C-alpha cells in the first residue's frame, strides 16, 4: 500500500504527478500541496498542515467535501511535510512517496532528506519522486536493485562520516569501498548493465537516480 504525499512544492509535469497519484493507495496533501490536486478536480484522503500556504477557499471547500483534515498550529517543531509523513505512517504500512519535494527552498529539500533518513531507520521504504529523478536514503546494512535503463546517471552522497558501499552493474563498480562524506567520489556514476545493485555495507547514503520511474525495487519491464 503506497502513500503518496503531495507537498507544497513545484509540479513541473502534471501528467507525471497524476500518474503517481493513480498508483497510490492512500493520498495525503500537505498544506499547499492540496492546490495541485484541486487544479485537476481531485481530492486527497487526508489534508494536513497549518494552512498558512493554502488558499482559505480551498480549505473551506475541503471541509465542505468532508475530507479528513488534521490542522496544526503555525508555531510548531515539524514541517507540514514531516507531519504528513507521520500521519501516513500511522495509517499505512507500505512505501512513502514524496511528491513536489524538489525545487523551491534548499532548507526544505535537505529537511526532506532528513525525513527519508528517519523512515529508513525504521525500515520503511520511502523515496522522493520527480519526473527526472528519484531519491532514497539508505541506512546500512541495506541493498537495493535499480530498474533504470543502461546509461542512467546515478549519484551517491554519504550522509555519515564514511559510508562503505558495494556497487554492481554500474560504470564504476566498487567492492566494500569507503565513500567519504568529504569528497564527490560517488557523484555521476551510471548504470552499465541491467540488474544493477547498490549495497550499503555501513553508514548512511543518499542514492540519487536520474529516472523518475525508479522505485529501487530492481529490474522493471520497459
Cell of 102: 524538489
Whether 144 contacts 197, CB under 8 Å: yes
Q: How far apart are CA 146 and CA 217, in angstroms?
A: 6
pLDDT digits (tens, 9 = 90+) for 179-215: 999 999 999 999 999 999 999 999 999 999 999 999 9
* Bridge partners for 164 per DSSP: 178, 202
Whether 143 contacts 197, CB under 8 Å: yes
Q: How far apart are CA 3 and CA 52, in angstroms?
A: 23
Residue 222 has pLDDT above 70, yes or no: no
Whether 29 contacts 88, CB under 8 Å: no
- Exposed, middle or buried by CB within 10 Å (0-12, 13-18, 19+), for 65? exposed
Q: How far apart are CA 202 and CA 199, in angstroms?
A: 9
Q: Which residues contact 47 (CB under 8 A, 6 or more apart)?
A: 28, 29, 34, 59, 62, 67, 68, 69, 70
Query: Could you tell me where the DSSP H helices lie in the chain?
Result: 14-23, 34-39, 56-64, 80-91, 106-121
pLDDT digits (tens, 9 = 90+) for 4-37: 999 999 999 999 999 999 999 999 999 999 999 9
Pairing type for strands 26-30 and 46-49 reads: parallel
**What is the pLDDT, as a whole number, of residue 176?**
97
Domains of the chain (ranges, CATH numbers)? 3-131 (3.40.50.10240), 138-209 (2.60.120.320)
The DSSP result for 104-166, as a single string, is S-HHHHHHHHHHHHHHHHTT--EEEEETTEEEEEEESSEEEE--SPTT-EEEEEE-SSEEEEE
CA dihedral of residues 86, 87, 89, 94 (deg, nearest 10):
-130
pLDDT digits (tens, 9 = 90+) for 62-116: 999 999 999 988 888 889 999 999 999 999 999 999 999 987 788 988 999 999 9
**What is the pLDDT, as a whole number, of residue 111?**
92
**What is the pLDDT, as a whole number, of residue 221?**
54
**Triad 191, 98, 183: Cα angle to 5°:** 45
**Cis peptide leading into residue 91 (ω within 30°):** no
- Exposed, middle or buried by CB within 10 Å (0-12, 13-18, 19+), for 132? middle
pLDDT digits (tens, 9 = 90+) for 123-154: 999 999 999 999 999 999 999 999 999 999 99
Amino acid at each position: 500500500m503506497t502513500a503518496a504525499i503531495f507537498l507544497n512544492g513545484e509540479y513541473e509535469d502534471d501528467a507525471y504527478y497524476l500518474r503517481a497519484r493513480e498508483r497510490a493507495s492512500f493520498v495525503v496533501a500537505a498544506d499547499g500541496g492540496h492546490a495541485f490536486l484541486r487544479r485537476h478536480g481531485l481530492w486527497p484522503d487526508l489534508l494536513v498542515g497549518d494552512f498558512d500556504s493554502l488558499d482559505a477557499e480551498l480549505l473551506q471547500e475541503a471541509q465542505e467535501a468532508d475530507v479528513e483534515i488534521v490542522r496544526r498550529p503555525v508555531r510548531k517543531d515539524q514541517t507540514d511535510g514531516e507531519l504528513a509523513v507521520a500521519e501516513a505512517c500511522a495509517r499505512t504500512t507500505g512505501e512513502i512517496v514524496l511528491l513536489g519535494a524538489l525545487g523551491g527552498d534548499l532548507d526544505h529539500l535537505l529537511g526532506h532528506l532528513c525525513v527519508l533518513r528517519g523512515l529508513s531507520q525504521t525500515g520503511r521504504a520511502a523515496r522522493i519522486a520527480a519526473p527526472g529523478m528519484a531519491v532514497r536514503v539508505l541506512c546500512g546494512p541495506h541493498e537495493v536493485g535499480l530498474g533504470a535503463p543502461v546509461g542512467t546517471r546515478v549519484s551517491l552522497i554519504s550522509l555519515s562520516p564514511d559510508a562503505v558501499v558495494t556497487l554492481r552493474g554500474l560504470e564504476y563498480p566498487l567492492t566494500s569501498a569507503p565513500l567519504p562524506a568529504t569528497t564527490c567520489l560517488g557523484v555521476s556514476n551510471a548504470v552499465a548493465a541491467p540488474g544493477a545493485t547498490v549495497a550499503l555495507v555501513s553508514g548512511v547514503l543518499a542514492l540519487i537516480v536520474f529516472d523518475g520511474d525508479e522505485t529501487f525495487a530492481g529490474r522493471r519491464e520497459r
